[in-house]
Structure 1
Amino acid sequence: MEPFTLTSPAVMTIGGAAVDTATSLDVINPATGRPFASVPAGDRTHVDAAFEAATRAFQTWREDEEYRRQSLRAMADVVQDAAGELTQVLTAEQGKPLSESQREFAGTAGWLRYYADLEVPPEVLRDDSEARVEVVRRPLGAVAAIAPFNFPIMIGFAKVATAFRAGSTVVLKPSPYTPLATLRLGELLGQVLPAGVLNVLSGGDEIGPMMTTHPLARAVSFTGSTATGRKIAAAAGDDLKRLTLELGGNDPVIVLDDVDVDAVVEQLFPRAFNNNGQACVAPKRIYVAREIRSALVDAFADRARAVKVGDGFLPETVLGPLNNAPQRDRVATLVTEAVAHGAKVVTGGTVIDGPGYFYEPTILTDVSDGVRIVDEEQFGPALPIVEYTDIEDALRRANSGMFGLGGSVWSADTDRAAAVAQRLETGMSWVNTHTAISPAMPFGGAKWSGLGSEGGPRGLDGYSDFQVIYRSKKVPGSRV
């Protein structure tokens, strides 16, 4: 296979213009572990320029709702037209197979079209002979949006789509691990957007705090770790910025004793190992009834042994590399610690020799609460399977800890499963599926998994203020 090369450079876009910088940031190909491109590294002056441009553009952007909806449709067309080029860029920098990159761009276009088509009427609280009382949304201004490395395009531009529909403008920063496709798409979208409504910055982790504390940023939308989210919440509190935080998840799965084991594993395995486990709402720990534990473990292990791991550009690849060395090393450390605490590695459990950030798909058993790979989010291809004794035991274990993003329950009896799923302490709960999401659904978690939600009409809340308009129907001086 020929080495991947960019067909065009990727540059920052501020105020509708391409921006060069004095310093650059290397982008690493996770399949080789070597740099293959560099991008501009922004600094304080670029952050200031971006928010100043977004604030200027906001004054007219906010006024024309129909124009914003037309712009969102035009953006979706650009995403679809550019997908052929940019799926290759995304696979090269993120590591996921081309088929997954293609789905990410299709999903991004779907988010843009959803918000373009979404009707946002005022909420009428009262309409009688005396008064009409409405609650209307008012856009906030410039939004600081920070996207993660696992789904940089879909998550990043879902934030953009929501902010635009609300009438706000955006300064968007991709992860320093995956800036290329976002920068290139920002360039292309400049052809259909007014100057300043979308500004794309690249750079190291130091850029994020500059954005989230910037005096012109009226809202912050962040997807990433709980630790970073807590720092953002504390920093943004001084200025009372509106916050949308989609943070860590450690999604539990409860498998009841009446399931068809092979059928359940056929559904669960690709969801747990989606994007090589680098998905915040993927199944992260499986709780299974004692009666079927051995069969479930064997079925998962068989799937893990059979799956093809390799370069995302190879057509036979199902799981690519982990995106970066720290994440690969974290997974390896969590597995090693679990083994030291008595866990059994049924299959996998080691770093794959050779270049790149590869780790074997791993199934662990004889592990329980109190071990980090169960209690924390591994964000990689290692799945612990934990035995429970009864439903109360399963729920106690599933609801333990401070994460509460998603969870699911699996059973041949959907009513039985639903009764259990309603007791999960999560923002999203599924029956006989997992990771079933759409732009129309609120996406958010409980406890330490976040504040607010992305998606659906509720997703607009993080980008809007509310105003009550009380219109009296009595004319002053009139006797009517």
Structure 2
Amino acid sequence: MSDYKLLIDGKMVPGDQTMPVLNPATEEVVAQCPRASKDQLDKAVAAAKAAYPAWAATPMEERRKLIIKMAEAIEANTNELAHILTSEQGKPLADATGEVMGMAGFFRYLGSLDLPMRVVENSGDRKVEAYRRPLGVVGAIIPWNYPLLILAFKLPSALLAGNTLVVKPAPTTPLASLRFAELIKDILPKGVLNFIADANDLGDHMTKHPDIRKISFTGSTATGQKVMASASQTLKRITLELGGNDAGIVLDDVDPKKVAPGIFEGAFQNSGQVCLAIKRLYVHESVYDEICNELVAIAKNTVVDDGSKQGTKLGPLQNKMQYEKVKAFLDDARKNGNVIAGGAAMDRPGYFIEPTIVRDIKEGSKLVDEEQFGPVLPVIKYSDKDDVIRRANATTYGLGASVWSSDIKRAHEIATQIEAGTVWINKHLDMAPNIPFGGAKQSGIGTEFAEEGLAEFTQLQIINGPPAA
């Protein structure tokens, strides 16, 4: 498919402008994408606002049925959506297929939840009921690393709660989202769900828009700070899922051969372009050399290529800006550490970087202190348990972390002391729609997934009256 359009008020419409979308494996143009003007964003918000009263009044069971129909549409078009996703995002086709299937799974699970009325008190003096009411128009801003999956983190819960939406995918990965919009446009009443695409120029207008009542944003902490400042002008509700500098802590009792594959996957999945990938790996001095050697062996046997080619394990970085940022981290790694695998951009078209392992590096270097968001892992030596906990927590981020040990009780004791929204034991990146997810410190505000995530798309209303006669 090459003809993409925006979804505004139930109709697929061309953008007032167009913009090219590149394949990051070839740097060639995949398609010309419609680019919305400010006027088109305003029309999308107006359509969502007009559709809101009837959608909010639609019984939840009816809304649920339509969300499940959307899941069925995703499943019926998995192959097409996955191919579009690989062409614009770069990830291997198997991973893109997994993302589309995960998207459908999130729609099905989040669409199955409920918002029951809760009786707070029913005494001789009063009856107090707590209701969860929809907010109105929600703006969803989606990043480029998992364009469809992260859309599914937000959209089903927002719709189920009775809100209407305006969705803005990332400028470098809008195509699969726009194709999804076309597939489901006739499932929902017009105006309930709208998709625009921009060149990173409409986000500020969206976050300031007086008719949008909530922004759900996934992206960098720096942009999240801007979203929060912008949304404050109208006191919008916000959910922010932001950056991370996740620490993995490897204790002295591990079997290096056993844990290395899980650590590598936790750091390098999606070419390291995961907000809660392992970004820093702390390894006890007694197993440091062995862990480094095991990670090097895996890195050297990992196939890095165009995501459309059979056998590819890691694709390119998604866009040129991120590619250049990661190259700067490689410069820092060579200066402040010992590069033992990878360490270079690949000499070919596309934004390819070799999976890179860096040892003998410490805090104070860019690679350890900042979020690299790419296939470069610093491996840091430690000797003392209390010291490594302090070092893991010495960051403004607090998204995820993991502890690796043969002794689950010992690992659990350390996990409770890590300042992060999610801490895994002997795994990393194990996520599911029934498990609440959110960041501590500057890694975010609010929660996604499960009942807690659904509640974020609602306003609590208390009705306090006399008991029924």
Give the TM-score, by structure 2 length: 0.98
Contact 1:130 1:474 (C-alpha < 8 Å) held by counterparts:
no
* 3-state SS in 2 of match to 1:378: coil
- In the alignment, which residue of structure 1 is the partner of 2:3? 9
- The secondary structure found in structure 1 opposite 2:186 is coil
Determine which of 40, 62, 66 is the counterpart of 1:67: 62
User: What pairs up with 1:258-407 in 2 under 5 angstroms?
Assistant: 258-341=253-336, 343-407=337-401
Structure 2 residue 216 is the aligned partner of structure 1 residue 227: no
Given candidates 404, 408, 420, the residue that maps to 1:426 is 420
Q: Deviations over 1:280-339 (max 9, x none)?
A: 111111001000000000000000000000011111100011101111111110121132
The match for 2:49 is 55
Letter in 1 for 2:197: S
Runs (4+) of structure 1 exceeding 2 A deviation are 127-132
The CA distance in 2 between the partners of 1:399 and 1:381, in whole Å, is 22
Question: Is 2:16–2:37's contact at 8 Å kept on the other side of the alignment?
Answer: no
Asked if residue 121 in structure 1 is aligned to residue 124 in structure 2, the reply is no
Specify whether residues 258 and 196 from structure 1 end up closer, same or farther in structure 2 by C-alpha distance, changes over 3 A only. Answer: same
| 1:448 counterpart (412, 437, 442) | 442
Please give the alpha-carbon distance, in whole angstroms, between the structure 2 residues aligned to 1:101 and 1:294: 34
- Aligned residue number for residue 18 of structure 1: 12
Residue deviations 1:40-78, cap 9 Å, x none?
Answer: 111111110000000111111111211110111001001
Contact 1:219 1:462 in 2 (8 A): no
Counterpart AA for 1:111: F
Deviates more, 1:118-127 or 1:402-411: 118-127
Asked whether the equivalents of residues 73 and 116 of structure 1 are also in contact (C-alpha less than 8 Å), the reply is yes
1:398 is displaced (CA, Å) by 0.5
Rounded to whole Å, the distance in 1 between the matches of 2:420 and 2:228 is 21
Paired positions, count? 468
| Deviation for aligned residue 1:9 | 1.3
Asked if structure 2 preserves the Cα contact closer than 8 Å seen for 1:13 and 1:200, the reply is yes
Partner of 1:157: 152
Contact in 1 for aligned 2:111/2:157 (Cα 8 Å): no
Offset at 1:158? Answer: 2.0
Q: Counterpart amino acid of 1:438?
A: A
Over residues 92-148 of structure 1, what are the superposed CA-to-partner deviations in whole Å (9 max), with x where a residue is unaligned?
A: 000000110111111111111112211221222112344332211110000010000
1:190 aligns with: 185
2:93 to 98, 116, 120: 98
Aligned counterpart for 2:75 among listed residues 73, 80, 83: 80
* Letter matched to residue 143 of structure 1: V
Partner of 2:432: 438
Say which SS state the counterpart of residue 138 (structure 1) adopts. Answer: strand
Identity of aligned residues (%): 43
2:107 maps to a residue whose letter is L
- The one-letter amino acid paired with 1:49 is K
Name the structure 2 match of 1:461: 455
**Aligned mates of 2:367, 2:157 — CA distance in 1:** 34
1:184 deviates by 0.6
Contact 1:288 1:385 in 2 (8 A): yes
Contact 2:44-2:191 at 8 Å conserved across structures: yes
Is the Cα–Cα contact under 8 Å of residues 22 and 30 in structure 2 kept in the other structure?
yes
CA distance in 2, matches of 1:358, 1:393: 36
**Structure 2 residue aligned with 1:41, among 21, 25, 35?**
35
SS at the partner of 2:286? Answer: helix
Give the Å deviation of 1:474: 6.1
Deviation string for 1:351-371 (max 9, x for gaps)?
000100000000001111111
After superposition, the CA RMSD in angstroms is: 1.0
SS in 2 for 1:448: helix
Q: In the aligned structure 2, how far is the partner of 1:474 from the partner of 1:357?
A: 67
Contact residue 24 and residue 316 of structure 2 kept, 8 A = yes
The structure 2 residue matched to 1:248, chosen from 240, 243, 247, is 243
Partner secondary structure for residue 234 of structure 2: coil
Q: Distance in 1 between matches of 2:91 and 2:164?
A: 30
Q: Aligned partners of 1:201, 1:253: CA distance in 2, in Å?
A: 38
| 3-state SS of paired residue (1:222) | strand
Q: Counterpart of 1:89? A: 84
Counterpart AA for 2:157:
T
Q: Which runs of 5+ in 2 are unaligned?
A: none
Q: Which deviates the most, 30-39 or 237-246?
A: 30-39
Per the TM alignment, residue 394 of structure 1 is displaced from its structure 2 partner at its CA by 0.7
Amino acid at match of 1:11: K
1:216 aligns with 2:211: yes
How do residues 142-153 of structure 1 correspond to structure 2 at under 5 angstroms? 142-153=137-148
Of 262-271 and 240-249, deviating more is 262-271
What 5-or-longer segments of structure 1 have no aligned partner?
Answer: 1-6, 476-480
How far apart are the structure 2 equivalents of 1:293 and 1:361? 19
- Aligned partners of 1:403, 1:21: CA distance in 2, in Å? 37
Give me the whole-angstrom Cα distance separating, in 1, the residues matched to 2:212 and 2:460: 18
The alpha-carbon deviation at position 8 of structure 1 amounts to 4.3
SS at match of 1:345: strand
Contact 2:15 2:36 in 1 (8 A): yes
- 1:69–1:115 CA contact under 8 A, matched in 2: no
The Cα of 1:249 is off from its aligned counterpart by 0.7
- Tell me the SS of whatever aligns to 2:287: helix
After superposing the two structures, state which structure 1 stretch, 324-333 or 144-153, moved more: 324-333
Which amino acid counterpart does residue 62 of structure 1 have in structure 2? A
**1:238-271 alpha-carbon deviations (Å, 9 max, x no partner):** 1000000000011101000001111111111112
Deviations 1:393-431 (A, max 9, x none): 111110011000000101101000000001000011111
Per-residue deviation, 1:348:
0.4
CA distance in 2, matches of 1:376, 1:104: 27
Q: How does 1:405-416 map to 2 (within 5 A)?
A: 405-416=399-410
Q: Is the 8 A contact 2:67 2:111 kept in 1?
A: yes
Q: Which amino acid aligns with 2:22?
A: I
Greater Cα shift, 120-129 or 327-336: 120-129
Following superposition, the deviation at residue 372 of structure 1 comes to 1.2
